[in-house]
Amino acid sequence: MARGLNKVMLIGHLGSDPEMRVTASGQSVVNFTLATNEGFRDSSGNQQERTEWHRIVAWAKLAEICNQYLKKGRQVYIEGRLQTRSWDDPKSGEKRYTTEIVCSDMQMLGSGREQGAQGDSGGQWQQQPQKGEQQEKGYGGGSGGGQPDTEKDDLPF
C-alpha cells in the first residue's frame, strides 16, 4: 500500500532574524519567516511578481545553527514537512490554526558577504529525526575550517 508524502523544498530569503527559545524540557527551537517569489504574466501580458511567506520552525542543534548563522535577507534552501497545529486563543476563546514548515535540512546560499552574514561560504546542515543531532553535509561548520573533511586517499589525483 502506498504511503503519503509530506515534503517541502523552498529557496527564499529570510524575512526576519531567527528567534530562538528553549522549551521547558530544554529543547532548542527557532522560528523565522521565509519569502519566496514567483514571476508570472497576468491576463494583459504584463510581468507580475508574487511573494509568498512561509513560517519555518527548526529544532535541536539545527535550531542553534540557524540562530547563529542566519540573518534577515539571507538566501537559504529549506527542506522539511508541513505541520498544522492548533491552540485556543485566550482573548477570543476561538480555536486558532497555523501551518508551518518543520525544517529538517538547511543550506545557506549565496555568499555571506553579499548577504550580510559571517563568512563567505555556504553550509548545509541536516536534522537527524531520531536523536535530533546535527549532521553536516558539504561545506561549513566542520573542523576543517569551512572545508569538507577529506582524506588523502579520497582525492582523485
How far apart are the C-alpha atoms of 148 and 19, rounded to whole Å? 29
- Average pLDDT of span 39-64: 93
How far apart are the C-alpha atoms of 54 and 35, rounded to whole Å? 6
pLDDT band of residue 134 (cuts 50, 70, 90) is: very low
- Average pLDDT of span 10-20: 96
pLDDT of residue 108: 95
- Average pLDDT of span 25-45: 94
pLDDT of residue 142: 39
